[in-house]
Amino acid sequence: MGTRKLNILFVASEVVPFAKTGGLADVAGALPKALKALGHNIIVVMPRYYKIDPSKLTKLESPLGVPMGAMGELWAGVYTSTLSGNNVPIYFIDHERYFGRGGLYEDHDGSYEDNGNRFVFFSKAALQLCKMLSFTPDIIHANDWHTAIVPLLAKTRFVHDFANAKSVLTIHNLQHQGHFHKNLMDLMEVGWEHFNAREFESFNGVNLLKGGIMHADAITTVSKKYADEIQTREFGFGLEGHIRAHSEKLFGILNGVDYDEWNPSVDNLIAQKFDVGDMDGKLTCKHDIQRHFNLEVRDDVPLIGFVGRFAEQKGISLIAGIIHGLLDMDIQIVMLGAGEKWAEEFFSDVATHRSNFGLHVGYSDALAHSIEAASDMFLMPSLFEPCGLNQIYSLRYGTLPIVRATGGLDDTIQNFDEDHEHGNGFKFFDATQEALYYTVLWAVNIYKNDKKSFLDMQERAMKQHFGWDDSAKSYEAVYNYILGFEAEKPSV
């Protein structure tokens, strides 16, 4: 199949390196570069949050007018920059009233009350921007609830300019759906006829993701397993039936890793670089993190790392329930994360009482890299995990993941098989404290008593490759399919 050059509009509420709260930003910062490398013409659009360093942005001369129902037309400024590495243009929608605040979606008092207005505004502004740039997309790629209204906007309010565009909506996390008061329909300006149980209506309010699922030409999510799971009651957050009804256009495409960023052979954020066949640096990194957290500096003690949001999704209650039992083993645990207050307080308390436990409450990219490099094993007992990135980073750093078999964790981690010398990590199935405890115990036992198997597994893990190039080709196949350029449904 020869590559057909497509014009692609990629809209996202957060993009690395400009603003990030989670995996969505990693994807939005990397996938467009990989699509450009395949020969496509792609632009990225995100909000101009005021915490983004303005010296990195250039202001465009002319502002945009954005229609907002009875509020009339609101003006948006536009800034621009590029995604480094591959010169993908990125545009920032500026509107002080909506984006001139500290957080992306929330502050200490919780979610911003006007999130619905903010992201309807942003979604419309992204389409207006295309008009201003005379950029006619073949594909509009929206992400999560924030921009889930874009596919329908392109077919209604903006149809004049986007009549030939097809749309993809990627679900990075089904838990967040964008529920708002039904009056948001007025601002959306897509017509109240779309306020019904098959489209945007949910519990007499608006559910943006639900409507997006209905109107996008394809829905993707970030692993095959998660694509199956979200059609079930356990993982569907109430939308399982709706997703089942649209399953013929649902695809699971695993996220890739940006190996320029997450690679121990080039990582400037770690104490000493290392790679397969040259592993001294990993021990230096271990000592470095042991000193950083005031732990005993030892080679032979298994060091287990955790990096992630302190959210129920990440299995923090499971960890909290057995942390003292785990720390009674001859192991060390270090955790980096922030989020639920109870968890921050609980783990802080553990840190003051246990000498083999280190904690950093907060967000630190440098420390995330150092923990990946230093640890022997990585803990990720998520209750659900659409893709998960840290377990994939861990593989590259020779840090064997201990995971629950769900979503992307299940797709990327193969359980250690003692008889057949197979696997790249340790997996458990039931979301119970017992299952987690005994899996950690098992991993620690292999580390201490079967060093050869452990080191072989480490080498296998480090040699695996989860590049964006493969994922981008899968997205390309979906684009070509919905545009009618490929008759056969892609098997991604």
The residues of the shown chain that bind ligand ADP, judged by CB under 6 A, are: 22-23, 26, 307-309, 336-338, 363-365, 368, 387-390
Comparison of 257 and 322: residue with beta carbon closer to ligand ADP: 257
363 or 437: whose CB is closer to ligand ADP? 363
CA distance 402 to 196: 43
User: Least distance in Å: CB of 286 to ligand ADP?
Assistant: 19
Residue 148: CB minimum distance to ligand ADP, A: 17
The CA dihedral of 57, 59, 60, 62, to the nearest 10 degrees, is: 150
Tokens of 113: 């009350």
User: Judged by CB, which is closer to ligand ADP: 23, or 32?
Assistant: 23
Q: How far is C-alpha 116 from the geometric centre of its chain's CA atoms?
A: 21
Smallest Cα–Cα separation from 393: which of 407, 405, 375, 410? 375
208 vs 389, which CB is nearer to ligand ADP?
A: 389
Q: How far is the CB of 326 from ligand ADP (least distance, A)?
A: 20
Query: Residue 219's beta-bridge partner residues?
Result: 169, 250
Q: How far is the CB of 157 from ligand ADP (least distance, A)?
A: 31
Q: What amino acid is encoded at 458 in this protein? A: Q
Residue 329 CB, shortest distance to ligand ADP, in Å, is 25
CB of 307 to ligand ADP, least distance (A): 5
Residue pair 73/27 in contact by the 8 Å Cβ criterion: no
Cβ proximity to ligand ADP, 156 vs 317, nearer residue: 317
- Whose Cβ is closer to ligand ADP: residue 26's or residue 138's? 26
Q: Write down the least CB distance from residue 114 to ligand ADP, Å.
A: 24
- The structure tokens listed for 327 are 């720390």
Cβ–Cβ < 8 Å for 9, 126: yes
Per the CB < 8 A criterion, the answer to whether 208 and 149 are in contact is yes
Nearer to ligand ADP, 408 or 490 (CB): 408
Identify which of 466, 461, 308, 305 has the alpha carbon closest to the alpha carbon of residue 382: 308
Closest of 413, 407, 410, 411 to residue 384, by C-alpha: 407
Residue sitting closest to ligand ADP (CB): 23
